[in-house]
Amino acid sequence: MLAAAAVSLRQESAVLAALGSRFAERGHELYLVGGSVRDAVLGRLGADLDFATDARPEQVQEILRGWVDHQWDTGLAFGTISAAKGAHQIEITTYRSDAYDRTSRNPVVAYGNTLAEDLVRRDFTVNAMAVRVAGTGAADFVDPLGGLDALLAGVLDTPATPEQSFGDDPLRMLRAARFVSQLGFEPAPRVRAAMRAMAGEIDRITAERVRAELDKLLLGDYPVEGIDLLVETGLADRVLPEVPAMRLEIDEHHQHKDVYRHSLTVLTQAIDLEDGDPDLVLRWAALLHDIGKPATRRHEPGGGVSFHHHEVVGAKQVRTRMRALKYPKQLTEDVSRLVFLHLRFHGYGKGRWTDSAVRRYVADAGDLLPRLHKLVRADCTTRNKRRAAALQATYSELEARIARLAEQEDLARVRPDLDGNAIMELLDIPAGPQVGRAWRYLKELRLDRGPLSRDDAEAALLAWWRAQ
């Protein structure tokens, strides 16, 4: 693995050598640290480079001046200077030996004098390795805490005791789940035990920081394992309680142990349908599509179970949870709408929808239609191969109908055949609520009957107006 690191670092030798020379000329140490070293060892070093140095922030600013393209001091209070050099994003932090107030997650920043005391304060041993950066490039691998062995074993452990580490910064518990998702690692038993015992400490963390970690977890290569860790340790009960609540609910087809497992299967299948980059909206919708089931569960005569209108309840729960986590309005609405629409297809039967129903399906989904296609397909988790094939074939037939209608009319922008000005002129009314009502009537007519000629649209509007 060190050979992979050497190759990765050699590819960045121009930047590393130039930066190392500037610090060495001024008598300062510079080390590549944290995730950058971990990723280099894994052979996946990117353009974001993290460094640690004995130079104070003001000295770092002076060293970088004239060499980087831009630099920022937004992290100055925590000893961090950020800069851009070509395609590289660089962060350089003065050695730290922070203390924490154990009330918030904010450290009382104290600068350290050695690399060793800086490394021991880091979250996990796999992020506590360093490589000395000199004017000739990169050399001297430093691993005082066994990070390389942990990396080889695929184990997440803390430099200090987990209780001390998580007590200092409870966000590290979410970071553990995130690294499980991103790297496929397994938490050490003592880390898992501490997460379980200290889950309540996560309440000290702001919603924005929790949200950022959840997104990184969900976008990882192994999100199911990360979510499982959150649920098993009780962290999900604090930050995403609707997900563990699904463990007790058996789905109506009795195909899975519980709705929770079904939802993780849907998430996995949705990921398999992604085109290119991970899709955060689709992944959130897949995970949360059935969160309305616990609140709508009903035991029916004969031993059956129903979840009527769980998509409606679930969409409301999505909005509530995502607002609490301070998600942007658009992302919240997109996920909520997908959850609301994910069952609509099951009314299609064997193609019994009218063209009007197809238009409404497309219009209600809007820009989310490609994601809705993926979500509906991913939600087919039956183990009955014949039934699964029939469902997929039926949905393919619906997509084909949508395509045929789209060739005949603009399904992406279903609008009334008359605009507001034409409505006011035809009905001889001023701008106001009546125009809006007339506009909505024409839109419903357009959805029902498809495009109308101007004469037909005017005749229909006049007939409706007289009836009012």
Look at the alpha carbons of 13, 220, 202, 327 in this order and tell me if their dihedral is positive or negative.
Answer: positive
Query: How much is the pLDDT for 99?
Result: 60
- 6 and 72, same domain (yes or no): yes
Query: How much is the pLDDT for 321?
Result: 98
Look at the alpha carbons of 33, 38, 40, 44 in this order and tell me if their dihedral is positive or negative.
Answer: negative
Q: Do residues 15 and 57 lie in contact, with contact meaning Cβ atoms separated by under 8 Å?
A: no
What is the pTM (predicted TM-score) of this model? 0.84
Query: How much is the pLDDT for 256?
Result: 44
More confident residue, 442 or 146: 146
Mean pLDDT of the chain: 88
What's the CATH number where 228 sits?
1.10.110.30
pLDDT in tens, 335-346: 999 999 999 998
Local confidence band at 250 (pLDDT 50, 70, 90 cut-offs): low
- 171 and 79, same domain (yes or no): no
- Please give the average per-residue pLDDT across 75-95, as a whole number: 93
- 407 and 421, same domain (yes or no): no
pLDDT in tens, 172-199: 999 999 999 999 999 999 999 999 999 9
- 264 and 352, same domain (yes or no): yes
- Please give the average per-residue pLDDT across 95-99, as a whole number: 75
Local confidence band at 415 (pLDDT 50, 70, 90 cut-offs): low
Full residue range of the structural domain in which residue 85 is found: 2-152
- Alpha-carbon distance 128 to 203, whole Å? 26
- 92 and 170, same domain (yes or no): no
Q: Which two tokens stand for residue 219?
A: 């976008």
- 232 and 347, same domain (yes or no): no
- 17 and 43, same domain (yes or no): yes
- Please give the average per-residue pLDDT across 437-447, as a whole number: 75
Q: Do residues 213 and 174 lie in contact, with contact meaning Cβ atoms separated by under 8 Å?
A: yes
Query: How much is the pLDDT for 324?
Result: 97
Lowest mean per-residue pLDDT among 43-57, 245-259, 394-408: 245-259
Query: How much is the pLDDT for 101?
Result: 60
- 352 and 294, same domain (yes or no): yes
- Please give the average per-residue pLDDT across 213-219, as a whole number: 98
Q: Do residues 288 and 314 lie in contact, with contact meaning Cβ atoms separated by under 8 Å?
A: yes
The count of structural domains within the chain is 4
- Please give the average per-residue pLDDT across 200-227, as a whole number: 97
Is the pLDDT score of 255 beyond 50? Answer: no
CA distances from 401 to 354, 356, 378, 416 (A): 10, 12, 20, 22
Is the pLDDT score of 136 beyond 90? Answer: no
Burial string for 432-468 (b: 16+ CB within 10 Å, else e) reads: eeebeebbebbeebbbeebebeeeebbebbeeebeee
| Alpha helices by DSSP H, 342-419 | 355-365, 369-378, 385-408
